[in-house]
Amino acid sequence: MGATKTEHFTDKQNAIATLAKALGHPARIAIIEYLLKVDTCICGDIVNELPLAQPTVSQHLKELKNAGLIKGEIEGNSICYCIDEKAFQKLQAYFTNISTKAENKKSNCC
């Protein structure tokens, strides 16, 4: 064993877990924050910003892209990566909902 049993959970649960998992690494959080910081999304220097080797960064970018957190297109001999708002809006909505519900049931809880 060792493989996640995704088939036993709902699509929505798997979708949120996939997004969360992709953000479950500080390098990928750092990448997202860098993409937000720079003005344009022609970001040819992500590698120089991170304390990781180029193949490692490339791999992290691929994971973020697979999860739908960033979009990327080839642009000459560099790459245009940028944040995919929709995914973050989904996360925002999800956690807002949880926070609200948690707040409401505070009373009859520990």
Partner DNA sequence: AATCTTTATCGTAATATTGCAATATTAAAC
Partner DNA sequence: GTTTAATATTGCAATATTACGATAAAGATT
For residue 1, the minimal CB distance to its own copies (Å) is 9
For residue 100, the minimal CB distance to DNA (Å) is 26
Does residue 82 touch DNA according to CB under 7 A? no
Among 33, 36, 54, 92, binds DNA (CB under 7 A): 54
State the first-to-last Cα distance of the chain, in angstroms, to the nearest integer: 36
Backbone torsion region of residue 44, taken as left when φ is above 0, otherwise alpha when ψ lies between -120 and 50, otherwise beta: alpha
Residue whose structure tokens are 């690494």:
25
Residue whose structure tokens are 């924050």:
33
Type of residue at 5:
K
> What are the tokens at 23?
């953000």
Structural contact between residues 57 and 79, judged by C-beta atoms closer than 8 angstroms: no
Contacts with DNA by CB under 7 A lie at 1-5, 21, 24-25, 27, 43-47, 52-56, 58-63, 72, 74, 76-79
Contacts with its own copies by CB under 8 A lie at 4-6, 8-10, 13-14, 16-18, 20-30, 32-33, 36, 39-41, 50-52, 71, 73, 80, 82-83, 85, 88-89, 91-92, 95-96, 98-99, 101-103, 105-106, 108-110
